[in-house]
Structure 1
C-alpha cells in the first residue's frame, strides 16, 4: 500500500536531496616531481611536501607525501601555486598549465564555448619540475591591454610588440593585465600562439573585454577565459616575489554600467588564507585590470568598500606593489588614508599604459602599423619590472619598436619670429613621470631651467586630432583618440631673443628608477619684416 507523504515531509526530503547534490565533495591529489616531464606520475616520482594548492577559496599545503585534500563543487577550478623552487608544465598553447577544472556537468551553454563537462577523476594531481633558484634579479615583461578586435590587430601585436622582443630579451616571466582580446574570444588562440614565442611563462589577468557577455550572472562571465587560461584568481611564486592575479571585473548583466571594479567573497577568503602563508616583508605584487583608484574624481569605478577591505588585508605587508591597466593612459598613483590605505607608507599603484595604445588606431607608418598613441600622449608599448632578491623593484616603460632611451616625447614649434613675445613653449611628455619628477630644459649650451608641470592635452596628439578633422578622407582605419589632459606633461617657454637661425632644445628628466633621461629637438628663429 502506497503512503502519501505530507507536503512538509515531501519538501524536507526533496530539499535535503537538492542540498546534498550541491554540497561540496572532497578532492584529493598529489603534487609530484615530474622527472621525465610527461605530465603523469610514474613509478619512483615522489610527492613534494609543502606545496600550496587551492580551490579559489580554501588553501591546502601538501603533506610529506605531497598529498592534499580540498572541498570541490560543480564549477570549481583547482590550482597549484607555483613555488619558487619548481616550474609548472606548459600546455599545448605554450602557456603555463597549473589547474584542473571540476565541471562534471559542464558549464552553461555560451557563445564562445565556456567549459565542457570534465571526466570524473579519482585524483587531481599536479606535476612540477625542479628549477634552479636564481639569486639575482627577476626581470619581467608587463603588457597592458593587448586588446585586438580582429586578426589584423593580432598581426599588429605580433609585429609591433612581440617580434622585436622574441629571442632578444632577458625576461623570465610575463604578464598581461587584462583585455587580452576585444570581446571576440575566438582570438585567444591566435594571441596565445604569438605570445608563446616569447618563450617565458606568461600569466593572464581577465579584463572587461574578456567576458562572456551572454552569461546571465557574474559567476559565469569568465567561463571561456577560464577554459583557456585557468583560474581567474591565483598566485605564482618566484624567489624574489609573490604574484597575485585577481579578477576585479564584477559583471552586472542588464544594468548600466554593465560592470564595476570589485572583488568577490571567495577572492577575499583566498587572499586571507594565502597572505597568511607569506612573510610580512616579502614582496607582493597584486595584478588586476581595473585600477583601484578612480580615474575620474568622484566616479566610483572600483567599489570603495572592496578596496578598503583588500587594503586592510595588505596593511601589515611592508612590500606591496599594485599593477593595473584598463584606462589606456599611464600614471602612478600613491594610495593613502583618502583611499583607505593605512600602511606605514603610501601604497604605489602603477597603471600601465596599453600595449595596443589607443586600440590600434591612428595613421599607419611605413611598416603599416598604426601610430596608436594613447589619449594622454603616451605611445603604445609595455613595461619592464625588475625585482631584486630583497624585494626592491625598478620600473621602466618601453615604447614599441623604439630605442631603450625613448622616454620623453617633445613637441615644439618649428619656427618663431625673432623678437616676438615669448608666449610659445616646448612640451615634454615624460611617459613615466610623476608629480614630483624633476624636469629641466636648456637652449643650446645655456643653463638648465625648471619646466612647469601642466595638466593639459599633449600638443602632439592635438595636432593629430586637427589633421584628422581637416582631412577630406579617413587617414586610417580608426582616427587617433581625442587628446585628454596628461598627468605627466611639462612646459618650458622658448626664448625669442637669441641669434637668428636654428637652436637646440634639450630636455632632461630624473626618473625615480632609471636616473637621468634626455631628449632633444630644434626650433628656428627668423627675422621678419612687417
Structure 2
C-alpha cells in the first residue's frame, strides 16, 4: 500500500474573476489543474499545469489543455469536480477530505432544517494535485477500505463508530517499529483510499462534521456516497434533497482514477416526497449524461467499480426497489468493460449477487455485486460488551465491521470482511464465520440436530465442510434460514424482565450464507470436537471449531 502525502493548508483561490465597473463578480468559466510540488495548496512559480485531467460538473465533461487549463462554464446548483488521475494524490481540505470540488450557488435555495447549500459566489478555481511517490509499503495492489451505513443517530453513535470501527482499524494497521514501545499508527497506512456507501447519518445531518472528523483521522483519501438517510427530508423535490450532503461532501456523482481501478460513485436514491415509498433506487438523466460522456474515456485494462447505496437487485420479491429501466440502461453502458464490480450498502445484511439476463445484464460472464454489511450493524443495537459498545449483529447473523477491496494491476480483485468484534462468550467465533451447535445431546437420539456455520462472505457455490473428532471431511448443506445464534439472542431478549440494551437485537431473518451439518449421536459418551472449514473465493481456507457432548439418559 502507498502512504499518501497530503497538504494540510487550505487551498487558495488562485485566479481572480474579472470585475465589472460596479465591482461585482463576473462568473468565471475555467481554471487550472496544477502540480503542487511544494505541497502548500497554491500555485507557485515553476509549478506546471497538468494536461489531460478530466473536470466535470456532473453532466458536462472537459479536459485540461497542455498548460493544465480547463474551461467549464458554471451552472447554478451544480458541483464542479476534478476526476483525480492515476499517479496523483489530492490535497486535503480543512476537514480532511480530498480538495477536488467546489459547489456553485448564486442564489439562495430552499430553507432546509440542516442548512442545505449556502450561496457561494462563483470564482475561478484552481485545483492542486501532487505526484504519488513510490512507497516501500506498496505491494503491487490498490487497497481500498469500504464502510457501509455508519448510520449514527446521535453523538453517542458517533462515538460507537469511532471506537468500534475507526480506532480498531488504526490499531490493526499500526506498525511495530521494533524499538520496544509498541505499535504506532501513521497517517494513511490503513489503505490507499476509502469509500463510505451512504447513510452516513440516520437523518441527523448535523452529525456530519463529527463523523467526518472520525473518518479522516485515518489519514486516507475518503469518498462518500449519499444514502436515503442522508436526504434533506424537508426538500419538496429530488433535485434539492442532497443540498446539505453536497455542502459537506461535494458532488453526488463523482469519479476517481487509479492505475488498477476506476471508481464511479453515484447517488442512486430517488426522493419521492409525498409518495409511498418515499424513495426508490434509480438514476437521474443528468447522471446518465455524465456516464455516457465519461465511460468512453475510461481505460478497459483495469477494474471499473460502481459504488452506490441502494442495491441494484430488487431486495423484496414482487416489488421494484431499483427501477428496472434504469438498471438495464446502466448495465448496457457497462457491458463493454471486461471487469466490473458493483458495491452497494443499505440492507444491513451481507450478500453477493451475480447479475444475469433476468436482471438486465447481458455480458459474457455474470456481473458481481457485493452488498456490503453495515458498519453500524443492526443500527448500534443489542447488548453492550465490557467496553460499552453494543453487539449490533445484523439480521442475517453477520457481525458489524468493514470490508476491504484489493485490486491488482490488470483489474483482478479480492474482497474480505473484517468484523470489529464477535461475542466473547462464543468460543466458536473466527473472523470468517460463526458456528452454532447444541452443547449436549443424548447418545442414541435421532440425528436431527446440527452444527450451523454462518460464513460471512459465503456465496452460493462456497465449499463448506465439517468433520467430527478429526475424522473424514463431509460437505455441509447450504440453507436459507435464520442464524441460530441470533435466534437464541432474540429468545434471551424475549425472556428478559428488563431491557438488556438500549435497543434489542434485530429479529433474525433468513441468511444467504448459512450452512448446516448433522451431528452424529452414535459416538462414545463424552466431548466431541466439530471442525468446520470453508473455502473463501479470495481468502482461501478458513476454519472454526466447536464442541458438543453426548450423555446417557435414563428413561
TM category, shorter: over 0.9
Secondary structure, counterpart of 1:312 in structure 2: helix
Larger displacement relative to structure 2 (422-431 or 82-91): 82-91
Secondary structure, counterpart of 1:429 in structure 2: strand
Confirm whether residue 241 of structure 1 aligns to residue 238 of structure 2. no
2:400 and 2:421 in contact (8 A); partners too: no
Partner of 1:273: 293
Query: How far does the alpha carbon of each residue in 1:49-81 deviate from its partner, in whole angstroms, 9 at most, with x for none?
Result: 110000100111110011111232211110000
Secondary structure, counterpart of 1:499 in structure 2: coil
Partner of 2:69: 67
Once the 2 structures are TM-superposed, how far is the Cα of residue 168 of structure 1 from its aligned partner? Answer: 3.9
Which of 248, 266, 270 aligns to 1:250? It is 270
Secondary structure, counterpart of 2:255 in structure 1: strand
Matches within 5 A, 1:78-89: 78-89=80-91
2:27 and 2:74 in contact (8 A); partners too: yes
2:447 and 2:520 in contact (8 A); partners too: yes
Partner of 1:387: 407
1:25 and 1:73 in contact (8 A); partners too: no
1:55 and 1:71 in contact (8 A); partners too: no
Partner of 1:115: 117
Secondary structure, counterpart of 2:481 in structure 1: coil
Secondary structure, counterpart of 1:517 in structure 2: strand
Secondary structure, counterpart of 1:276 in structure 2: helix
Provide the rounded CA distance (Å) in 2 between the counterparts of 1:456 and 1:278: 42
1:354 and 1:380 in contact (8 A); partners too: yes
Matches within 5 A, 1:158-237: 158-166=162-170, 168-169=172-173, 170-237=190-257
Secondary structure, counterpart of 1:386 in structure 2: strand
Query: How far does the alpha carbon of each residue in 1:98-141 deviate from its partner, in whole angstroms, 9 at most, with x for none?
Result: 101111213322110111111231x2211111112668101111
Once the 2 structures are TM-superposed, how far is the Cα of residue 167 of structure 1 from its aligned partner? Answer: 5.5
2:259 and 2:409 in contact (8 A); partners too: yes
Once the 2 structures are TM-superposed, how far is the Cα of residue 26 of structure 1 from its aligned partner? Answer: 6.8
Larger displacement relative to structure 2 (63-72 or 512-521): 63-72
Provide the rounded CA distance (Å) in 2 between the counterparts of 1:25 and 1:192: 31
Which of 404, 418, 421 aligns to 1:398? It is 418
Partner of 2:493: 468
Provide the rounded CA distance (Å) in 2 between the counterparts of 1:29 and 1:210: 31
Confirm whether residue 324 of structure 1 aligns to residue 344 of structure 2. yes
Secondary structure, counterpart of 1:71 in structure 2: coil
Which of 339, 345, 357 aligns to 2:365? It is 345
Once the 2 structures are TM-superposed, how far is the Cα of residue 273 of structure 1 from its aligned partner? Answer: 1.1
Larger displacement relative to structure 2 (68-77 or 408-417): 68-77
Secondary structure, counterpart of 2:168 in structure 1: coil
Larger displacement relative to structure 2 (183-192 or 29-38): 29-38
Provide the rounded CA distance (Å) in 2 between the counterparts of 1:302 and 1:178: 16
Once the 2 structures are TM-superposed, how far is the Cα of residue 405 of structure 1 from its aligned partner? Answer: 5.3
2:259 and 2:302 in contact (8 A); partners too: no
Secondary structure, counterpart of 1:455 in structure 2: strand
Partner of 2:378: 358
Which of 98, 104, 107 aligns to 1:105? It is 107
Once the 2 structures are TM-superposed, how far is the Cα of residue 443 of structure 1 from its aligned partner? Answer: 0.7
2:27 and 2:122 in contact (8 A); partners too: no
Which of 483, 503, 523 aligns to 2:528? It is 503
Once the 2 structures are TM-superposed, how far is the Cα of residue 436 of structure 1 from its aligned partner? Answer: 0.6
Matches within 5 A, 1:293-312: 293-312=313-332
Report runs of 4+ in structure 1 exceeding 3 Å deviation.
401-405
Provide the rounded CA distance (Å) in 1 between the counterparts of 2:129 and 2:332: 33
Query: How far does the alpha carbon of each residue in 1:186-244 deviate from its partner, in whole angstroms, 9 at most, with x for none?
Result: 11111111111111111111000000001111011001110010001110011110011
Provide the rounded CA distance (Å) in 1 between the counterparts of 2:419 and 2:236: 39
Secondary structure, counterpart of 1:68 in structure 2: strand
Which of 27, 30, 38 aligns to 1:28? It is 30
Provide the rounded CA distance (Å) in 1 between the counterparts of 2:265 and 2:133: 24
Partner of 1:94: 96
Confirm whether residue 45 of structure 1 aligns to residue 39 of structure 2. no
Partner of 2:16: none
Partner of 1:482: 507
Larger displacement relative to structure 2 (351-360 or 464-473): 464-473
The alignment yields a C-alpha RMSD, in angstroms, of 1.6
Confirm whether residue 143 of structure 1 aligns to residue 143 of structure 2. no
Relative to structure 1, the CA distance from residue 204 to residue 35 in structure 2 (aligned partners, 3 Å threshold; closer, same or farther) is same
Once the 2 structures are TM-superposed, how far is the Cα of residue 269 of structure 1 from its aligned partner? Answer: 0.8
Matches within 5 A, 1:6-21: none
Larger displacement relative to structure 2 (391-400 or 68-77): 68-77
2:525 and 2:551 in contact (8 A); partners too: yes
Which of 375, 388, 406 aligns to 2:395? It is 375
Which of 508, 512, 519 aligns to 1:494? It is 519
Partner of 1:157: 161
Query: How far does the alpha carbon of each residue in 1:499-528 deviate from its partner, in whole angstroms, 9 at most, with x for none?
Result: 111111100001111111000111111111
Provide the rounded CA distance (Å) in 1 between the counterparts of 2:437 and 2:392: 21
Provide the rounded CA distance (Å) in 2 between the counterparts of 1:405 and 1:277: 43
Secondary structure, counterpart of 2:502 in structure 1: coil
TM-score, structure 1 as length reference: 0.93
Once the 2 structures are TM-superposed, how far is the Cα of residue 25 of structure 1 from its aligned partner? Answer: 7.4
2:302 and 2:409 in contact (8 A); partners too: no
What are the ranges of 5 or more consecutive residues in structure 2 without an aligned counterpart? 1-25, 174-189
Partner of 2:131: 130
Matches within 5 A, 1:393-432: 393-401=413-421, 406-432=431-457
What are the ranges of 5 or more consecutive residues in structure 1 without an aligned counterpart? 1-23
Provide the rounded CA distance (Å) in 2 between the counterparts of 1:420 and 1:340: 50
Secondary structure, counterpart of 2:210 in structure 1: helix
Query: How far does the alpha carbon of each residue in 1:279-312 deviate from its partner, in whole angstroms, 9 at most, with x for none?
Result: 2332100000000001222211000000000001
